Amino acid sequence: MRIQKRQSKDVVSSSTKLILVIFGIFVAGCSTTSKQENMAPEEVATQYIQELYSSNYAKATEKYLAKNYIEHQPSAAFSRVGLESYVEQRISANPSHQLIIHRVIAQGERVFLHMEERLNNEETYARAEMFRVSDGKIVEHWATAQKVPKGKNDYMFGGAAVNNESTAGVKYTPMMKTAYRGFIGDVDIEVAKKYVADEYFQHNPMIEPGKDALLGFVRLLKEKVTYRKLTFHGTVASGDFTVLHVYADYPPLFTNVHIFDIFRVTEDGQLAEHWDIIENIKPEIDIEKVF
């Protein structure tokens, strides 16, 4: 009887310990979830992207991606599994892989990251990553990547930081769309003259800096392109920056492209600085899934 009683006590003791351990794990999990839910969307996005591009990519997707997550990146096969495969291949093929976040632009649920990706052999990509974040989880993701010509790293990533004391980005977003539609969509040189600052700086590696070079590009579009399609798919703005999410088709200069255009806006509504990350959409890709 004593032996049986002692065994009984041991069972109760072990069960109690097991319950306490499970309860502790549950509480810790709830605490982590609660903490993540209270994080600002830009905190979620920046922490996620840094954890994603590491050996812990699977843990990162489990931790940060919502159950109803929607992936719009073609190279990630429009899926969570495809994203993990893409990241695994990216970092395994490039042991010296490095990500640098140059600018963070956040508005409401949307967060935009302007990033530099360094691979092996000094190969570099400009990356645009846009997320929709809700309750501490990423529910949607869009991206473009563009190879940086050699010697153009500082040119493509340099320039002004986001001035979060300003409200010009949000204030002038409607104007930005009107201006962009005017001088890129309608190739109207007068619109470009009106909205582009005299001290304008261009970070596109194919166009020289300065207002005159941009006006020359608009003239080139008007002369060389007869068919033009331009569609807006969203905006993100904070501080003195506005990001336009765009689809464009301007053969023969560029065909079927996915673009994130990044503008710095002055306090009086002039376009002062511009970066873009452009990626061609392959003909076999469903454009609806990209946007």
Tokens 């003239």 belong to 219
Same fold, 41-157 and 168-290: yes
Tokens 């032996």 belong to 3
Q: Per-residue DSSP letters for 73-141?
A: -GGGTTSHHHHHHHHHHHHHH-TT-EEEEEEEEEETTEEEEEEEEE-GGG-EEEEEEEEEEETTEEEEE
- The pLDDT score that the predictor gives to residue 35 is 84
Looking at the structure, give the CATH architecture of the domain made up of residues 168-290: Roll (3.10)
Choice among 27-41, 151-165, 197-211, 243-257 with the minimum mean pLDDT = 27-41
Identify residue 40 by its one-letter amino acid code.
Answer: A
Give the tens place of pLDDT for each residue, 181-239: 999 999 999 999 999 999 999 999 999 999 999 999 999 999 999 999 999 999 999 99
Q: Domain map of the chain by residue range?
A: 1-38, 41-157, 168-290
- The pLDDT score that the predictor gives to residue 264 is 99
Across the chain, mean pLDDT equals 91
Q: Which fold has domain 41-157?
A: Nuclear Transport Factor 2; Chain: A, (3.10.450)
- State how far the alpha carbon of 235 is from the alpha carbons of 125, 199, 242, 247, in Å: 22, 24, 7, 13
Query: Is pLDDT of 3 > 80?
Result: no
Residue 99's nearest CA partner among 138, 127, 122 is 127
Query: Is pLDDT of 137 > 50?
Result: yes
- The pLDDT score that the predictor gives to residue 26 is 53
Global pTM reads 0.88
Query: Is pLDDT of 8 > 50?
Result: no
Q: How far apart are CA 171 and CA 239, in angstroms?
A: 10
